[in-house]
Structure 1
């Protein structure tokens, strides 16, 4: 990753940071990565500002919906920003499993992770509910396709055809 001269103050602090995920919402780009790193740009990536995450856990994925950014990461980390990435608050995940990916669709956030973890929030990240995935394998990604949520990992795919209420392997 490179930084413009305008963001040189951030370059030194972040030159060893690994970016794991990025998302755009409300004309704001947010990138998350190793050691709880969060970078925000409001000028199409010309300048970047480091934000305090309150965690040293790796952040693996970020999603945006309903004017809310939610980042997930190792050891069940969930961070929420309701002010376009300016400030971040931690939420209880109810798991210590790594969370590898998050998506937003059909007005809900769904996060997936190690040991078949699936967490769903229907209230913009205020509360999170665990769902039975039917697998103990690591889930590394999740997408919304044709109104179905599809979570996947190495040699495993699970699907929900009812907005995340139940899951079954394909």
Structure 2
């Protein structure tokens, strides 16, 4: 099984997004063993279970994940593990706030003040993948810190 760049494999990222719409490639080597593994992975994904592909570097785990996702016909959200990631990089976080203040001084001897503060939540990669029904490929997850990966337990 060979690993090739996404563009060469016919998997081009969508504009302004980290999503990829995988497509079957003519150059993908589909041996009976690889096809059986891809079908098994697809069956687990359809049932709502995660799939963990393990093996030595360069054996085509990520390519197989893209192949299984292409068989499902769903967009893919690709994340590469990183030691600097925090949970908010996957799930989301409060990002800023809006404050509204109303001062009512219609009667000059009476002052009525109302203040409302709202935070803005920004969804991040894992949350948007769940909302949009995308297949999440978390490549090289062992590069991220354990407390970040607890999110997936």
- For the aligned pair, the TM-score class normalised by the smaller chain equals under 0.3
Larger radius of gyration: 2
Whichever structure has more helix as a proportion of its residues is 2
TM-score, normalised to structure 2, is 0.24
Whichever structure has more strand as a proportion of its residues is 1
Relative contact order higher in (CA < 8 Å, ≥ 6 apart): 2
